[in-house]
Amino acid sequence: MKYFFFVQSEGRGHMSQALALKEQLEEQGHQVIAATIGLGPNQEIPSFFKDNIGCPIINVESPKFLIDKEGKGVRLVASVINTIKKVPNYLNSVRKIKKSITNLNPDVLVSFYEPLAGAYYRFCDDKRPMFCIGHQFLASASSFKFPPSNFFSKNYFQFYNFLVSGKRTTKIALSFDNEPDELNKKLFICPPLIRKSIKLIQPSNNSFILSYMINFGYAKEIISWHQANPDYKIEAFWNKPGEEHTRIDDKLNFYHLSGQRFIDLLASCEAYVGTAGFDSVAEAAYLQKNILLIPTKNHFEQECNAYDAQRAKIAISSNIFNFSLLQDKAISHSPIYLKKFKEWVDNFDGKIIEILTKNN
């Protein structure tokens, strides 16, 4: 079978999922013939994705969140207004996608939470099966518990889930633990997609903390904590443009997002502290690391991720980068649940491939 990917480029999680699924598909003799990736203005494709996807990449302009002046939180209302203003650009992107799909003629479409996938599937009336993958779709499960929130945030999140998928698609909800499928909703609950390069690692526990932030404004909090606790070594990743490596001192470094360096440091760190992207949490939990999550300000999806990770008892959370919380045994999560999470991933590793091949 020939597969066509739609990949959202915010953070690193959706791209990591695409790389992991491509590995699994190719092991079963299938082919990923192209990947379209939605980018914002002046945004470049991270090298870890570009160098490893191993198929043609189709760049298109896609809706993205606008960030506040501090470089931390999401400006949700401004993001919605900006998206409406740029509808003509996105329609051009849909036309470009349609032309590519017509020329390539894939058998199956797979979206990693890219909003233009939903627009293409609706407007172009494609009859091919489409599968939409993401932790976000777990919100449709009967058992899902939302974090405390205002009416607008929760309902906008659910509406956005509808926009990126649609009624005819099959939804694959990635989950921290095993939940029953809901076939009446075309909803399958599956373990996170974790790349083989991570699964084969023998993790170690060296004396440093790995940190990752989706928005570089949080670096001020990390630097402030480091100045008060100078004995702790921190290796951090951020998205600051033009900053490949920023050395604060011997104990604190910031790096631009890099796939292999991130994996190497994740495998050998003592603990992981980061904004609450689903896939980094899943990778850290698979490697049995202590985890502290700080949801990006005004980013309800990340609030859901952190809330759900706490429910599964694989992480703790805070609203600031306070690394000291990792030492508080009263709120620490248990290694028993990290082991349970790893077993869930290992024992149901082939479930997504089975769904893709039996439901098209």
pLDDT digits (tens, 9 = 90+) for 260-283: 888 899 999 999 999 888 999 999
Average pLDDT estimate for 347-351: 93
Instruction: Express each pLDDT in 1-43 by its tens digit.
Output: 999 999 998 877 899 999 999 999 999 999 999 999 988 877 7
Residue 85: how many other CB atoms lie within 10 Å: 9
How sure is the predictor about 330, in pLDDT bands with cuts at 50, 70 and 90? very low
Judge whether 2-194+348-358 and 197-345 match in fold.
Answer: yes
* CA–CA dist 302, 317 (Å, integer): 11
- Are 139 and 156 in contact, with CB atoms under 8 Å apart? no
Domain boundaries, the chain: 2-194+348-358, 197-345
With a pLDDT cut of 90, the percent of the chain lying above it is: 60
11-17-21 Cα angle (round to 5): 160
User: What is the pLDDT averaged over residues 96-101?
Assistant: 95
Q: Among all chains, which residue has been given the structure tokens 């999550």?
A: 293
Q: Given strand 130-134, what is the order of strands in its sheet?
A: 57-61, 31-39, 2-8, 108-112, 130-134, 170-174, 187-190
Q: Are strands 57-61 and 31-39 parallel, antiparallel or unpaired?
A: parallel
pLDDT of amino acid 46: 81
Domain 2-194+348-358: give its CATH code.
Answer: 3.40.50.2000
For tokens 């082939």, the residue is 350
Residue 279 contacts residue 12 (beta carbons within 8 Å)? yes
Percent of the chain with pLDDT over 70: 96
Q: What topology does CATH give the domain 197-345?
A: Rossmann fold (3.40.50)
Q: Which of 1-10, 105-114, 180-189, 237-246 has the lowest mean pLDDT?
A: 237-246
Q: Are residues 247 and 272 in contact, defined by beta-carbon separation less than 8 angstroms?
A: no
User: 29 by DSSP, 3-state: which?
Assistant: coil
